[in-house]
Chain A
Amino acid sequence: MARVVLENVTKKFGENAAVGPLSLEIPDQEFVVLLGPSGCGKSTTLNLIAGLEELDSGHIYFNDELVDDKPPDKRDVAMVFQSYALYPHMNVFDNISFSLKIRKMPAEEIKRRVKDAAELLQIADLVGRRPHQLSGGERQRVALARAIVRNPEVFLLDEPLSNLDAQLRVYMRAELKRLHSELKTTFIYVTHDQVEALTMADRIALLRRGVLQQYDTPDQLYRAPSNTFVASFIGSPPMNFVDCTVTILSGRPHLSTDMFPMDATGLARVMQQDDVGREFILGVRPEDLLISTEPVGENPVQAKVYVVEPLGSETIVDVKLGNSIIKVTSRAESPPAVGDPVWIGFNKKRIHLFDRKTKELVF
């Protein structure tokens, strides 16, 4: 059980800074996800925490103890890799017990721990097999068992579900959550899949090109994304963005886009005098928009249906507003057809404004 703190951590590969400077505090026993697109430095960060890569600068602490110079074998972390990394020349029992044998644990204790871990992960009848005789899901559970028997201070998981098929992935997400609550250990989990992050994390650290964008609960990342990158990364389908400027129309502040004006009264923030002329990006999620054949919601505008993507439980409708395509999620029984004229309605409480230059959230 450990609190992990990263302080101004950087890692370069050649000229490029893969990570950092990055500062992060991961509370004890929490499930923290490092999320981001490929190449954002999340796996590198995990390797730095494990001690598999050396820091270029900054410090890492486990429970306030500096671990910068400690090699991985001394850090008491357990890691599950994307490719499972099972030892091919050993059977399942030997794979799981390997770390315990190195620590010279008594044979009886080893047997007991392996048995418990195997039963917890329902692989007890596979202990005699070799990795090449196991399916992907079974290998992954062996990799998990190998990590669990250690009772480590921190669990590190590097995209462990990426190589599983969709159904197994959904099942294992729930299993991992269950494991976390049973083992009561700090989990640091790396993924590029925001659905995994949103469903499993207590807290998410969203990274882009090695720089932390936002570190918050899934709910906060969804409702109050700190910039347009976070807003577009979290949520599927992604948030719609429209450029707008604050103008005065009929004596009242409006957000003017090249497709429609929107009365600024009723927005989550009152427009100030010096906001006039300021350039923003208006962000609104597809699920926060209303679509109908009649004017609906606040500030309804007319649009034309461009593409219809049925998903079963809902339909994603792409509509053409002026020169832009906006995505709207519809739960209607009979969604509109391509080319139909429709009305799009807003919910002013669910609109975000980002500064057009800094891309950061204003509200």
Chain B
Amino acid sequence: MITYFVALVVAAWSIAPILWTFVMSISYEREIFSVPTHWIPEQPTSYNYARIFGLAYEATTVVSGQAVQIRQGLVNSLLIATPVAVVATLLASLAGYAFGRYTFRFKNATLFAFLSTRMLPPITIIIPYYFVFSQIRLVGTYQSLIITYVAAIVPVLTWILLGFFATLPIEIERAARVDGCSRLRALRTVILPMAAPGIAAVGILAFCLSWNEFLFALILSGGTSVETLPPVISGLFTHAAQYTLMSAAVILSIIPTVVLSLIFQKYITQLRIVDAVSVRAE
């Protein structure tokens, strides 16, 4: 009984800010400052969302600038997170298969080198990183963030997938080889379809990681036309802050990751479970 109560308290503590943000996003600006607080708005509206999507009449240009910014930020985030998810998943699948299934010279050294890139706190490399990208004139482009995220995310995905591939039954691969598949064909026609749930899960993870990333997005895209949603939202906290609009932006920013995670949660949790095809007698 007590466990449930505590869990309820913790859940409420976590969800309350998000709920309030949602309430703000469906309210008019003047209502959120009411005393006593209107926990459920008396005049709920979709005006804030409409503004973001360019479907509402804007009163002043300052205000409309913010809505356009948010809209552009949404589009940019999508245009970056989607190819990152696809490319990173593809590369990590191949690497994860190689590391998970084969032994080769310098395997451990290579794996360590691969993963050690994640041991540096990003903030320690941000300045030289910016220098390099500005030298090659990539600051303020989609490519800069796509390259950055793929490079950062592939090691993480590889680490997850190599464990996953190692648990796939090797006999099925062997059966494919004996049936006439080359290594690559066996991978394509037999192993990847079997690994599809795990790969889908890491694809979602890649999307979520790049969708939510703030520091590099700020440095490499802040103030440019390719600014992604996280820096856009943080930039809305000015003296001309419009809380209801910001709340709508925040809610919009968490919807894709939450929805994707809910749809694929079955596969994400399955990454930790070994599902053998059959059991060996010995």
Given A83-B169, A87-B172, A52 contacting B178 (CB threshold 8 A): yes
Measured between beta carbons, the chain A residues less than 8 angstroms from B281 are 82, 159, 162-163
Whether A88 pairs with B180 at a CB distance below 8 angstroms is: no
A58 at the interface (CB under 8 A from B): no
Q: How far is the CA of A86 from the CA of B169 in the complex (A)?
A: 10
Residue of B nearest to A158 (CB): B171
- Say if the beta carbon of B182 comes within 8 Å of chain A: yes
The answer to whether B190 has its CB under 8 Å from any CB of chain A is: yes
CB distance from B248 to the nearest CB of A (A): 42
Q: Mark B35-48, 1 if CB is under 8 A from A, else 0.
A: 00000000000000
Q: Are B175 and A79 in contact (CB under 8 A)?
A: yes
B174 interface residue per 8 A CB criterion: yes
For residue A270, CB closer than 8 A to chain B, the reply is no
Q: Which of A75-93 contact B (CB under 8 A)?
A: 77-79, 81-89
Q: Which residues of B contact A222 (CB under 8 A)?
A: none
Please, how many angstroms separate the alpha-carbon atoms of A162 and B169 in the complex?
A: 17
A-B contact list, 5 entries, CB within 8 Å: A51-B177, A79-B174, A87-B172, A102-B181, A163-B278
Q: List residues of chain A with CB within 8 A of the CB of B178.
A: 50, 52, 72-73, 77-79, 156
Cβ-defined partner of A38 (8 Å) among B194, B277, B282: B282
Tell me which residues across on chain B come within 8 A of A87, comparing CB atoms. 172, 175-176, 190, 194
A113 at the interface (CB under 8 A from B): no
Are A85 and B172 touching (Cβ within 8 A)? yes
| B194 in contact with A85 (CB, 8 Å) | no
Complex CA gap A295/B177 in Å reads: 63
Cβ of A98 within 8 Å of any chain B Cβ, yes or no, is yes
| A positions within 8 Å CB-CB of B | 38, 47, 50-52, 71-73, 77-79, 81-89, 98-99, 102-103, 131, 136, 139, 146, 150, 156, 159, 162-163, 192
Given contacts A102-B179, A102-B185, contact A52 B278 (CB under 8 A): no
Query: Which of A73, A102, A163, A192 gathers the greatest number of chain B CB atoms within 10 Å?
Result: A73
- B residues adjacent to A (C-beta < 8 A): 169, 171-172, 174-182, 185, 190, 193-194, 196, 277-282
In the assembled complex, how far is the CB of residue B182 from the closest CB belonging to chain A, in whole angstroms?
A: 6
Docked complex Cα distance between A84 and B174 (Å): 11
Q: Across the interface, do A71 and B177 meet the contact criterion of CB distance under 8 Å?
A: yes
The 4 closest A-B pairs by CB, nearest first: A99-B179, A85-B171, A85-B175, A162-B281
Inter-chain CA distance A98–B178, complex, in Å, is 11
Main DSSP-derived SS at the B contact region: helix
- State whether B280 touches A83 (Cβ < 8 A): yes
- Report the tally of A-B residue pairs with Cβ distances under 8 A: 82
Known pairs A71-B182, A86-B277, A88-B194 / 12 extra A-B pairs, C-beta < 8 Å: A47-B174, A73-B182, A77-B178, A82-B280, A83-B280, A85-B172, A86-B175, A87-B194, A89-B194, A98-B176, A103-B180, A146-B179
Chain B residue contacts of A102, Cβ below 8 A:
179-181, 185
**Nearest-CB distance from A165 to chain B (Å)?**
12
Q: Which of A71, A86, A87, A162 has the most CB of B within 10 A?
A: A87
Given A85-B277, A159-B281: A72 touches B194 (CB 8 Å cut-off): no
Q: Contact between A81 and B194 (Cβ–Cβ < 8 Å)?
A: no
Given known A-B contacts A79-B174, A89-B193, A102-B185, A84 and B179 have beta carbons under 8 A apart: no
In angstroms, Cα B278 to Cα A162, docked, is: 12
CA distance in complex: A156, B175 (Å): 11
- Shortest Cβ distance from B176 into chain A, in angstroms? 8
Knowing A83-B277, A84-B278, A163-B281 are in contact, say whether A99-B180 is a contact too (CB < 8 A). yes
- Give Cα A208 to B174, complex, Å: 25
Q: Which residues of A contact B194 (CB under 8 A)?
A: 87-89
Bound complex: CA A24 to CA B79 (Å):
62
Q: Which residues of B contact A50 (CB under 8 A)?
A: 174, 178
Tell whether, in the assembled complex, residue B174 and residue A73 are in contact, meaning their CB atoms are under 8 Å apart.
no
Q: Which residues of A contact B196 (CB under 8 A)?
A: 89
Q: Which residue of A lies closest to B185 (CB)?
A: A102
Query: Distance (Å) between the CB of A329 and the closest chain B CB?
Result: 27
Does A52 lie within 8 Å of B177, measured CB to CB? yes
Instruction: Give the complex CA separation of A47 and B282 in angstroms.
Output: 18
Most chain A beta carbons < 10 A, residue from B174, B179, B182: B179
CB distance from B181 to the nearest CB of A (A): 6
Closest B residue to A72 by beta carbon equals B177
**Chain B residues positioned under 8 Å from A159 (CB to CB):** 281
Q: How far is the CB of A91 from chain B (nearest CB, A)?
A: 13
Contacts A87-B190, A162-B281, A163-B278 known; A81 to B174 CB distance under 8 Å? yes
Chain B positions within 8 Å of A192 at CB level: 282
Interface centre among A71, A85, A87, A163 (most CB of B within 10 A): A85
Bound together, the chains give a CA A81 to CA B175 distance in angstroms of 8
Q: Kindly list chain A residues whose C-beta atoms are within 8 Å of the C-beta of B175.
A: 79, 81, 85-87, 146
Identity of the chain B residue whose Cβ is nearest the Cβ of A53 in the assembled complex: B174
With beta carbons under 8 angstroms apart, the residue of A38, A51, A83 that contacts B278 is A83
Most interface-central of B176, B185, B194, B277 (chain A CB within 10 A): B277
Q: Which residue of B has the minimal Cβ distance to A37?
A: B282
Instruction: State A99–B178 Cα separation when bound (angstroms).
Output: 9
Measured between beta carbons, the chain A residues less than 8 angstroms from B180 are 73, 99, 102-103
Q: A81 vs B176: C-alpha distance in the bound complex, in angstroms? A: 12
| Residue of A with least CB distance to B175 | A85
| Closest residue of A by beta carbon distance from B183 | A71
* Residues of chain B with a CB closer than 8 A to A78's CB: 178
Nearest B-chain residue to A83, judged by Cβ: B278
